[in-house]
Structures are given as structure tokens and as C-alpha cells.
């Protein structure tokens, strides 16, 4: 066996996006440190503020995290007055999360930090690269969401990985 797997992984889209994501998350976390928020808390505030989700389950789906993590994040944010949790008027089993004025102020600080980081990230990209990035990022988010939901429906086992590998070698 050769040493081709390491370079293959390192040049794969998923690996490179993962590394870039980790580095960007680390940079963003440092920039928002003064707010007292984590990047996940900022994500939750952003989703709620943008009216993309209001129930804890919807928020989890939007952020690609488990509902139990959302419960914890909402607890943390509620304890500092950034969100409030109420029962849905139409379904009493559902917890609705609303951003407060305090949450909006914190989100504004985080937005300023995100803009600063975006300037740094964009600094060395050409206008064509920026246009491509603006086009590709939403597409990657959509396809990664579909891929994740497909994988949830089909559990991954070592045997299925070997089957996938054998199929790709036959093609």
C-alpha cells in the first residue's frame, strides 16, 4: 500500500473546508470574546433574529446541531437576558425562543466582529474569487445539509465504507 490516502484526504473538499472552518471559528471566537458569547450562541441569536426559526427544534435544524445543545444554549442565553423562552400559542409542547433587546445588542457586537473578519478573509481574494465564493457557499451549505440528512438515514459502518470504496474502484 502506498501513501496516497493521507494526501487524498488532505486535498479533499470536506477536509479542507473543515480545517478552514475550524480556523475561521477560532478567529471569530477571539473577536467576539469581549461579548461573553460563544460562536454557537451567536449562531442561535442570528437564526432567531433573522426569523429563520423560533422553536428549539427548528433552531437545531437550522444550525445543524442536536436539540439538546439548543436547550443548553437557550438556557445560557436566557440566563443573561439575551433570549426569552415561551410556550407556543398553537402547540403548548413547543418552546418558542425570542431574542430580547439585550440579545440584539450582543448580536450587533458580534456582527461587527464578523464584518471585521470578513474584511480580513476577503483581503487577498480577487473580485472573481469573491463572486465565486458568494455563489458557492450557499450551494455548499445546501448540499452539505442534504448529505448530512442522507447519512442520518443510512448509518455508516466499516462494512458500508468498504462497499463504497469497492464500488468507486469499479467505476
CATH number at residue 81: 1.10.10.10
Same domain, 148 and 69: no
Whether residue 2 is contained in a domain is answered as no
Domain that holds residue 54: 9-124
Q: Round to whole Å and give the CA distance between 130 and 134.
A: 6
For the chain, percent of residues with pLDDT exceeding 70? 86
How high is the mean pLDDT of the chain? 89
CA dist 8 to 13, 99, 157, 170, Å?
Answer: 10, 44, 21, 18
- Give per-residue pLDDT as tens, 104-150: 999 999 999 999 999 999 999 999 999 999 999 999 988 887 777 67
B/e letters for 11-40, b = 16+ CB within 10 Å, e = fewer, are eeeeeeeeeeeeeeeebbeebbeebebbbb
171 against 100, higher pLDDT: 100
Same domain, 111 and 130: no
Same domain, 36 and 102: yes
Whether residue 25 is contained in a domain is answered as yes
Same domain, 29 and 85: yes
Whether residue 58 is contained in a domain is answered as yes
Q: Round to whole Å and give the CA distance between 34 and 41.
A: 14
pLDDT at 163: 52
- Give per-residue pLDDT as tens, 50-61: 998 789 999 999
CA dist 74 to 28, 49, 98, 108, 113, Å?
Answer: 20, 14, 10, 18, 22
pLDDT at 144: 85
Amino acid at each position: 500500500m502506498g501513501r496516497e490516502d493521507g494526501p487524498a484526504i488532505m486535498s479533499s473538499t470536506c477536509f479542507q473546508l473543515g480545517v478552514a472552518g475550524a480556523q475561521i471559528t477560532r478567529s471569530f471566537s477571539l473577536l467576539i470574546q469581549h461579548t461573553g458569547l460563544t460562536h454557537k450562541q451567536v449562531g442561535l441569536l442570528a437564526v432567531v433574529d433573522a426569523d429563520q426559526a423560533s422553536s428549539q427544534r427548528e433552531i437545531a435544524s437550522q444550525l445543524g446541531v442536536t436539540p439538546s445543545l439548543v436547550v443548553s444554549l437557550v438556557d445560557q442565553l436566557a440566563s443573561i437576558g439575551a433570549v426569552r423562552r415561551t410556550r407556543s400559542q398553537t402547540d403548548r409542547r413547543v418552546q418558542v425562543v425570542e431574542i430580547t433587546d439585550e440579545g440584539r445588542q450582543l448580536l450587533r457586537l458580534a456582527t461587527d466582529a464578523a464584518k471585521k473578519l470578513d474584511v480580513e478573509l476577503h483581503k487577498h481574494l480577487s473580485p472573481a474569487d469573491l463572486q465565486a465564493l458568494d455563489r458557492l457557499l450557499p450551494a455548499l451549505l445546501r448540499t452539505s445539509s442534504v448529505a448530512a440528512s442522507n447519512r442520518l438515514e443510512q448509518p455508516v459502518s466499516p462494512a458500508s465504507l468498504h462497499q463504497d470504496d469497492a464500488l468507486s474502484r469499479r467505476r
